[in-house]
Structure formats: structure tokens, C-alpha cells
A and B are shown apart, each in its own frame.
Chain A
């Protein structure tokens, strides 16, 4: 249950536009038709007592506390389930109603432990409040009768405890799991007095059940029956700060609830525009990493990576880093240094990083981790529609009739949006999934995909072109839209291209592995099923043809007219919290903020005028270029913030060889991550709870990140970059991140109307936000495309060079899991490891049997890049010939196997297709042995670090 500072209207709002007027306790009220009496009363400022009702879920009508009297009607209807009618005269309070309510409360309280003073919900309990509201003064039934007070607690979930003794069986938790989360893990087991909340009928505990620990049940519970363990331990919070989650690209708004300087819990913000009060196991519960013992809070330096670290002052660390970068540039040239920022950074931080590189380093060697995830999205959507961003807001899905998910696993990667999508699917929207694996969305409670196009990894482009072939050859093109909104010659060329017989589903079935009839059915459904929206993820972008596939998606949407209104669109699901923002902020080596090329003299001139420095007019190095140049001896110094390339980037051995070839690596992070083990300077970073800034989520929504506690290392991350820039000789003078945003707004047309004042006032803003759209832009390309007319481009399928053969007969594809996040640096330092303590290799039973592999046994996975070992999970989720793993644990070495293949346009790595062989093994791989040896050595060097005073004396 959240702190009770938000008004709970009891039932959800009605979407009706027709108003109905009635009288409640003598007051005239006008509300939309379909509104409940309870909600109408709340709108009028009258609180009707309630227990089973809450405005995040449909009315249930079980507690009988909210009874009211309606003039001219018999009985006492429940106000939550009774809709308003014109002219109704409602009384919410009189002697009879008071008697009835007291009677109900007496029954509840007669079977409830009277331990309020020692209860974790004391002062924050709806049952307690209702006892007061109804004037309960006695319980005539006594407490000696049959009751549930002796029922055992279920402490199995690491984040919350279920205490059935405190349960009033209001079903709010069950309904939250059903209606909000859509997992349907909970039920009311038994009947009558034996009724009890149960986590599934076959599971003994929450942890053994299908519960995904999203926290919706805990949020909904009106008592302490489902209670966060942190509140049980620390007590109830006394203040809250609204901020934005630092995990995935959904960008949920949370209230950080605090006691003193300690975060007690994170509760999803009901007014959050991206999440509407919902959460997942990561954002809701997995924030303990922020104060984990592994946090490094003092700056450190060392000359060689075989030296122990020396703790130094901030000034000394910054001064040392700056002097090293200057030395390298003077010795090896201006372009011998660069920086990599992260999507885990705020907009303001990534903006400063690229500014430091361009203005202080004097080159354009800035890149960001979007290089390895969604850079093809930026390229493909810019080429076709004119802007490097998704077209919709998340709420658009409520108007969608056909959901097409390709190369994304929303229930694991973007769980809160997945819940909203599932709500729409349960309402009847149709579903197409294109994925090599059977992701959970294909078949889940009350949802079944109309089509699961189980394609071979690496064949997205062939599939998308085959879908287009059907649309074009069966006359399903939205001709009027295409004629009026798109470049007709480009469309005509594209139409001719996709209509060729070699692009038909029948001709490409051998490539994709998908039966032609399924592709034809899916294409017809997408083109004719009403509002159709495409949602895609890294399963589209992380291929050698990632950009071509994005273009193929845009082609489909334009050809069917599914662009420019609610319910449709092209929606890239961004992996990390600020992928969109880091790209917006000019983190690519060829683009200034707002996706404007460094070759553009006018744009470059505007930055030169504002920054007071001459800027380089040539594109800089991309991340893989930096690695190649390092190994060639020409790239010597790297400044990284929040990014762990030694774990996250492909072909690990190539990455670590390049790191070892550099002379100065500066890592700014909250932990000694894998990359920091190769570093010479460590600058303590600040967690999202320790700084101010903004994140921009997958729907272009700029949301506030607000400081909840002081930075453990003494500086917010933006302050560190400012200090480094000053030491490099390029002064920066910001006093607060709001001033950085003001500068961004001055220089970036799509951000011209953005300010902290507006974000505070509106809660969040979707860019473009400028004079034409002062309140932001939920849906893009409404009247015209950003580039004017939509542009079709041909999408020739070119098979990846990474092909199976006798030596490497299987295709490895990689992905994520719900409980872990990216390289796991955060989630591995939380109880989320209880769900996923190791990365496993999924293999089809047929492939496993052929190789003599048994469940849970160690297997070696070998590619042309390297070898590692994992334990096997035998499952039919993957198709024969395909194996799958996650990359959340560094020792797994998933990226030791992935290769240097990359997208033709952006060099986004081809994580999703690696030819491998898998065989049973008895020991770890040679790489893993070296990894452990090196990692242990580095942790020893960290433990042996020389404290600041001693270090100063030594030097």
C-alpha cells in the first residue's frame, strides 16, 4: 500500500463524454456517464468508507462497507458497483448506514489481530482508518470464536511477506494480479470461512508460484497482509520524492518513500504517465544496490592495472585524468582519446559527456551504448520518416486492434508496458508475434497469439519483405494514405520490389522457416484488422541487417496507413532507461543533439557560438572503431561513464585486448565493474537516487530524476564531468542540471520548449516540445512526416555472414530475463538473484539428445570468436537448431562467443546470430579460467587499495 497521500476515488474513471448530474449529500455533482456513485462522491469531496474498492481496479462489491441510500430505491446498494443516474439523490451517511457499516466492521475486526501498535502498517492501514471512519467502538462477537489468527506467514518472497492472519479477503491482491499485472498467479482458495488468498492452487508459497513479484498485490493490499519487508524492518516512511526508475526503457514514475535519509520503499506513481501506478520486480523492489557494500565512494588512481589502487582526493583524481588525456593527445594526436557514455546516464550527463569530447578533447570520438542496441532504429526511422524515435505514446496501445510484436520480449524486457499491452489483448485485440523463441506473450492467461511466426534467427528482413509482398499483391495497400502522405516514386519502386515472386512467402519459406500460409494470414491481419501497431526490440536491431529490418517495419506501417494517429505506429522498445535520451543528446560521433550531422555548417556554427570553441567537422570513432584503433596503437585514452563494455560488448576478448592496449582508461561508475578492472582512474558515480536530471523513455517522454539522498561519493555525475572538463581547460559553469537542460533547449529545436519548470508542472513531456507543440507530442507524424513525405526503401534480404556449418551447426541467440537487467551490475546486487542466479543455455530436446546433454549439466559453447561453459536448460521454447542464453553474469562469458559481425549501417553488433557448437563438458573454459584469475587479482588490488592519506605520503 502506498503512503496515503493520493486520493483514491474507489473505482476507475469513466471514459464517457456524456455528463450526468446527481445530488450527493445535498451537493450537486456532475460526472461522466458510467461513473460509480463512490467515485462521484469522491469527486464531490465525500469519502464513502470502503475496503475492497480502489480506483486502479474495477469495482468488486464484496466488502459491503460502501453502502449508500438512494432516494426512491429499496435497500442499500454498494456505491462502488452502482453507476450514477441523472437526478439521483444519494445519502452517504445516516444512522442506518452507520449501523450497517459498524456491523460489517465488527465482523472484520472479530477475525483480525489487534496488534496495531506493533503492526508494520500502523498509521498507514485502510482497515484501521475505516474502523475510525465508521465509529467502531466495540466488537460484540468477541475474539474467541473461530478465526484465522494462527495462520502461518509466507516469507518466501525476498521483498514482501504475506501474513494471512491480517488478510480480510477483499480480493484486491487477486484482482491486481489479474487486472493490472495480468499474470493471474493469485486466487481465493476455498469457500466461505475457509476462503484464503493463495498463490496458485498447486504452489505452497509465493516464491514457488507463478508470481512475478511486480508488487501490484502489495500495492493493493489495504492492510499489512502483504507488506514490504523494508517497511517491516524500517517502519513507515515519512516523506516521498517523485522520481523515475533507472531500469528499462518504460521509464516508470515512482515515489521514493523515505524515513530520514533512508529509502524505505519505492511505490509506483499513480499519476505516472508511462506506468499509471504499476511496477515490476526491478523498479519496485530491486533498488538495494544503491547502498550495497560494493559501492566505491572514493576516487582512485593507479599507473598500471597491475598496481593496487590508491585512494585520492577528487581534485587529484580529476587532475590526474586530465593530465593523462592531455599527455596522450600531445603524444599521439588529437584523435587518440574519446569517451563512451551510457543509457544509464541522465540526459544532462550524456549531453555534458559529448560536449566535453567535442569542446575539450576537440574531436567527435563520443559514442554511447545505443551503438550496441538501438542505433539501427535511429538510422532506419530517420531515413523513412525523418525522426530517430518511436511514433507513439504507450497509452496508444489502448486503441490498438492488432498488436504485432517482432524481436521483443515485453513481459521480460518491458514488463510494465507488457501489462498494459496484455490488458488490451485481453479486451480482444489480436496478436502477431515474430520471434524464434516461444516468448511468454505467445500464450499466457486469456491471451493467445493469432500467429506466432517462429522464424530462424537472422531472417527478419526476408520475413518483413514477405509480409509486404502479401500486402502489395493482395491489394491491401492504404492507397490514399500512401498517395497523400508518402513519396509516390519511392513507393512505386518499393511496390515493384516487394511484389517480385522471389519475395513471396512461398519463395522465402525456406529462408525464414515460417510456413507461407502463416505469413499470408499475419499480413492480412496486420493490414486489415483495424488499428495495427508494431512493437519491436533488439531482436530486430542486433543483426547484420538491423537497419534494413527497421526500414522494413517502417515500410509496412506506411503502406498500410498505420502511422500518424493513436493505436498504430512503429514502437521501438528501448532496452535501458535512457536509450532514447542518450541518442537525443548527441551521443553518436556524427551527430549533435537532436540528430543533426556534424557536417552541417549551420548546426555546427550554433554550437560553436554557444560553446565558444571551434568544433571538428568530421565524424568521430564509433565504439568498435575505437577498439580497432586501440589495437592498432592509435587510440590511447577512454573516458567511460556508466557503461561496462568489457561485459556488454561483443567479442569480449577483442574488447579486453583493446582495453589493455590503452594507456589511460577513466571509469566513472558506482561499482568496480568489469571494465573498471582495466582502468587507471576510478571516479565514483552516483546512483539515480543521488542526483538530479532527466531520463527520456521509449515514448520520447522526458521525466524527472530527483535527488533522494546525498551522493555517497560526494558528487553527482554531472558535477564530475564538469570538473574533468574544467581540468582539461574547457570551463563549464553549471550550478544545477536545470541549467544544462536550458542549454539543450536553446540549441535543439525539438527540445526548445523543455524546461525543468515545465517538467515539474506537467510531470513529464514528450518531445518534440517547442512553439508548435508547447505541451509535447504524444503521437508523431500526424499531419505530415517529420521529413515531409514518407520514404519507402527496398529491403533486399542478405544472409548474414555468420552461417551454420559442420563445425558450428547451431545458432546462438541472446536475450534478457525479467528479474535481471543488462549486465546485471545492479540486479546481481539485489535479491533478484533468487530468481536468476546464473545464465543458462536453452537447448531443444532434440539437439540435447543428439549431443548427450542432460538437464542442468555443464555444456561448452564454442564459436569462431571463443568458448565458454554454461549449464543447460532443455526446453521446447527454442526451436531445433537454435540455442539461447542471457548475459547478466560476467563469468558466463556470453559475449566471449558473440562475434564482430555488425549492422551494415550502424555497426550495431549481431548479438542475435552466432554459429556455435554445443557439447557436454566437465570443466570451465580456458577463457573462464583466465577471467576468474584476472578478476580475483583485480579484486585483491581493490582490497589492497591505499587510503588517501597514505597514498599522498607515498607519492
Chain B
């Protein structure tokens, strides 16, 4: 069920930028019925398709502050999913050579816990960044991502302006991404800014 009403989607995006897990879930579900069947056909594997969706949306979530500047949400989401499919394509072409070496009843050598371990590493790195945040920023982060409080709520609790709270959250997110990139985990696709923009 695609969100036909651009105005509603815009509201939703605004909430996601501010960290609303619920709004993010609504966006997720509104696109999954197109994205998953496509990923499934492309990867020919339920597990790989799930991973494509998961990694794409993980990147979108960790880059949520950038959604503020996105004009066309669908195009943005589609680009992230296409890029994950590209990544899968790359991996698959390399793997196909290795598969022939092992005669196997289960041709799906996709590692079932690969995503779990990957996520664990990401989680750990993020936690270490949050631990080192300066006191006020950390408190704001904890209220947002620990207790699920909205920006207006946090403003009230801490007696700060909304923009101070929002800035703190954006800076925290940027620090998180910096740290992940330093550890070799890329979070956005440079080729999004790429040459051939078809639509």
C-alpha cells in the first residue's frame, strides 16, 4: 500500500528524521510489498532478499537525518535497494566460482548468521560512540533512543530548545557514521550521487 498522499508521507519523513521508530516502521511496510518481491526475484533466495531489504533499510535508518533533504522518497528508497542488489550481484558472481568446488546438497551457501554477526559489530561500535558523547548530548540521545521520547518531550524534560535537541541528535548520528566508516562499514552509496540519473 503505497502512500499516495505526498503530504502524509512528508509528515512521516519528518517524524523519522526526529527518530520515530513507529514512523520508520510505517514507511517500511508501505514499500515492502514492492521491494521484497523484486529482491526475491533478483536474488533468487529468500535469505539473500531479506538481507538486501535489511541492509538497505539499516543504511536508511542510520542516515535518517538526510531524509530531511530528500524530494522524492520513493526514488531514494529504490536507489538504496538497487545498490544492495548490486552488492549482492557482485558477491554472487564471485561466489559462483567457489561453489563449484564443494559438491553440496544445499546449494544455498548464504551464511545464515552473516547478518547477525554484522549487526552485532555495528551495534557494538555504535554503543562505544554513544558512551563517549559529552554529557548533555548523551542524555538527549538516551532519552531519544533509550526511552523513545520525542523531541518536544526531551525539550521539556531537559529544559532545552527544540533545535538544541535536534542538533544534538544529528551530531550524534554523524559521529556514529564516522566511527562506522572508520571501521570499514560504509553506510551510504557514493554512487547515489552518480552520473546516470534515470528518473
The reply to whether chain A is a binding partner of chain B is no
A residues sitting closer than 8 Å to B (CB atoms) are none
**Which positions in B face A, CB cutoff 8 Å?**
none
